[in-house]
């Protein structure tokens, strides 16, 4: 793409569809890089309260797993997280909605992968990875919020 990455899209005038990734397929360094990139290019344009609300739900799931919660209870909580994502997306408008889409698709792919898992030990590992990703999203969101507030490039 010409213009230093700032030219018009080459997809018939429309931006490409955000597909998201399954974070369970990433190692931890990749997970951090993906989280940072997602925040820098998209999620910094989404309100922090919405991001924290999702993180709190993920933290509840992690706490339940750490307490030795049953597989079915964790699966119900993961399904609820998916509903919360849909609700959050539905409440967004304009730029926020567009910028939230890749994150939503990423979490949906990840949740679907987790729901197919029947191994409680693997589910615990996956929940921990989901929590780490969510924690990174919140941390990078705060970082970029302050960075751009203090006059960082772009905005």
Mean pLDDT of 107-115: 95
Angle (nearest 5°) at CA 36 between 143 and 59: 80
Whole-model pTM: value is: 0.84
Q: How far apart are CA 71 and CA 93, in angstroms?
A: 35
Q: Please give the radius of gyration of the chain, using alpha carbons only, rounded to the nearest integer.
A: 17
Query: What local confidence, expressed as pLDDT, does residue 10 receive?
Result: 35
**pLDDT at residue 17 is higher than 60:** no
Query: What local confidence, expressed as pLDDT, does residue 104 receive?
Result: 96
Name which of 115, 118, 122, 138 is nearest 59 in CA terms: 138
pLDDT in tens, 144-155: 999 988 886 654
| Token pair of 108 as six digits | 């949906």
């Amino acid at each position: 793409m010409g213009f230093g990455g700032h030219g018009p899209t080459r997809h018939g005038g429309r931006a490409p569809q955000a597909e998201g990734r399954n974070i369970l397929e990433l190692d931890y360094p990749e997970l951090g890089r993906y989280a940072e990139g997602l925040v820098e290019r998209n999620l910094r344009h989404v309100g922090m309260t919405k991001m924290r609300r999702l993180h709190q739900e993920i933290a509840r799931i992690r706490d339940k797993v750490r307490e030795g919660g049953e597989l079915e209870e964790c699966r119900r909580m993961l399904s609820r997280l998916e509903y919360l994502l849909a609700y959050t997306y539905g409440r967004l408008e304009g730029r926020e909605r567009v910028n939230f889409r890749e994150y939503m698709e990423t979490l949906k792919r990840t949740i679907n992968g987790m729901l197919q898992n029947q191994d409680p030990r693997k589910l615990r590992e996956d929940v921990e990875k989901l929590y780490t990703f969510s924690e990174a999203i919140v941390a990078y969101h705060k970082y970029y919020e302050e960075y751009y507030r203090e006059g960082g490039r772009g905005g």
